[in-house]
Amino acid sequence: MSSVLNVKLNKKPCYEIMFEKSFQALGPAVKELGFAGTKCCIITDSSVGPLYAEKVTNQLKKAFKEVYTYTFEAGEENKNLDVVRDALKFLVEHKFNRKDVIAAVGGGVVGDLAGFTASLYMRGIDFIQIPTTLLACVDSSVGGKTGVDFDGYKNMIGAFKMPRLVYINTSTLKSLTARQYYSGMGEVLKYGLIMDGAFYEWILENMYGIFDLKADILGEMIERCCELKARVVEQDPFETGLRRTLNFGHTIGHAIEKYKNFELMHGECVALGSVCAAYISWKKGMLDMEDFYEIRDMFVPFNLPITITDIDPNDIIELVKSDKKATDKGVSFCLLKKVGKAVISDDVTEQEMLDAIGQIHFTEDDAKE
Ligand code: GLY
């Protein structure tokens, strides 16, 4: 492996995504970017820091005189403004100036929070993304969305802030739990469903290699996802249209995530939301019944849920309506015309949503029967 993908903004090269199997090329790549600052702050969490902060520090020392590490307690519940404030304080205390740099080392929570901190400090300093989860490699580290949750609402406060580099070291994925790894597959499957039927078939054909984290399969899978995402964000960096298709499965998914108080992983909620969106697509006459069942069942081998207990469907609807994807006109939904072709719909009714949630929701009594 070892390859590079250029991501453009306004048709001009903006940053590179490097696909590597170790951290060896990180230091030279960062040096090459020629930052004027002399300091770098790694922002990481208590799960990832002990594994990789030292290795990353050794690399970053090739490009910066001083490398500091700010570590916060792992968990979605810490993706909030209090932790951002604490990180900003750390930068002030260590006398960071506007030429200095932040390096996000971790999963989606770390990348979102570190990027947002970079967007705020002295009205914005440079940052680089070093994702260490599948979800962060294929989705959250690419495209410049940063932010935190607010009052339990997912990603409610944030900014678009493009990284200067995304450095993917696929060997870090070996340290993920099976649950974390498969959570990332929720986003991988999304790309096949919304924009690339051939990739969807490829995933199914290479399922066993994916289960076994076979390096070449994993590398190809991550690169293809990044290529697909780059294609979307280059056309619509600030989500005025096409980028909304990347929210497939997220409308109901985010509501479930909040309802369950973030006990389920993001990709698990995306899988549940995707089943609902595919169901609505079928009921609106876009997909065939066979397509719906095939899509639903395809999440199962990847250990992603397609059913859930103990939710109140009406509460889920209320949460959907309060999501940031809701507008005065209603809720924006990404639906499927076919596998590999998404469409945005603003006319999904509450009854259609309730029927869709009925497809995934089972009560304790149903389970006993
Ligand atoms: N995660 C969806 C996006 O970046 O637009």
- pLDDT at 267 exceeding the cut of 90: yes
Q: Which of 238, 242, 243, 274 to mutate to test the pocket of ligand 1 (most atoms within 8 A of CB)?
A: 243
List the alpha helices (DSSP H) in the chain.
26-33, 49-60, 81-93, 108-120, 134-135, 178-195, 197-205, 207-211, 215-235, 250-259, 266-283, 289-298, 313-322, 350-360, 364-368
Task: Report pLDDT digits (tens) over 158-210.
Answer: 999 999 999 999 999 999 999 999 999 999 999 999 999 999 999 999 999 99
**Per the residue annotation, which of 11, 12, 95, 123 is the catalytic one?**
123
The H or E element that residue 25 is part of is none
Rounded to the nearest angstrom, the distance between the alpha carbon of 141 and the centre of ligand 1 is 9
pTM for this predicted structure: 0.95
DSSP 245: G
pLDDT at 369: 60
pLDDT at 331: 87
pLDDT at 322: 86
Exposed e or buried b per residue across 245-282, where buried means at least 16 C-beta atoms within 10 angstroms of its C-beta: bbbbbbbbbbbbbbbeebebbbbbbbbbbbbbbbbbbb
- Name which residue sits closest to atom 3 of ligand 1, judged by CA: 246
Active site residue 187: yes
3-state secondary structure 260-320: CCCCCCHHHHHHHHHHHHHHHHHHCCCCCHHHHHHHHHHCHHHCCCCCECCCCHHHHHHHH
Out of 1.20.1050.10, 3.40.50.1970, 3.60.15.10, 3.30.360.10, select the CATH number for domain 3-174.
3.40.50.1970
**Per the residue annotation, which of 39, 266, 296, 361 is the catalytic one?**
266
Question: What percent of the chain is modeled with pLDDT above 70?
Answer: 97
* DSSP bridge pairs for 104: 43, 129
Q: Which of 139, 154, 166, 231 to mutate to test the pocket of ligand 1 (most atoms within 8 A of CB)?
A: 139
pLDDT at 212: 95
Task: Report pLDDT digits (tens) over 333-362.
Answer: 999 999 999 999 999 999 999 999 999 998
Rounded to the nearest angstrom, the distance between the alpha carbon of 246 and the centre of ligand 1 is 6
- pLDDT at 46 exceeding the cut of 70: yes
In CATH, which superfamily holds the domain spanning 178-368? Dehydroquinate synthase-like - alpha domain (1.20.1090.10)
Structure tokens at 227: 């290529």
pLDDT at 368: 63
The mean per-residue pLDDT over the stretch 228-254 comes to: 96
Contact between residue 96 and residue 125 where contact means Cβ atoms under 8 Å apart: yes
Q: How many CB atoms lie within 10 A of CB 9?
A: 15
Rounded to the nearest angstrom, the distance between the alpha carbon of 63 and the centre of ligand 1 is 30
Could you tell me the residue ranges of all domains in the chain?
3-174, 178-368
pLDDT at 359: 95
Rounded to the nearest angstrom, the distance between the alpha carbon of 120 and the centre of ligand 1 is 20
Active site residue 361: no
Structure tokens at 131: 């994702």
Q: Which of 9, 116, 145 to mutate to test the pocket of ligand 1 (most atoms within 8 A of CB)?
A: 145
- pLDDT at 367 exceeding the cut of 80: no
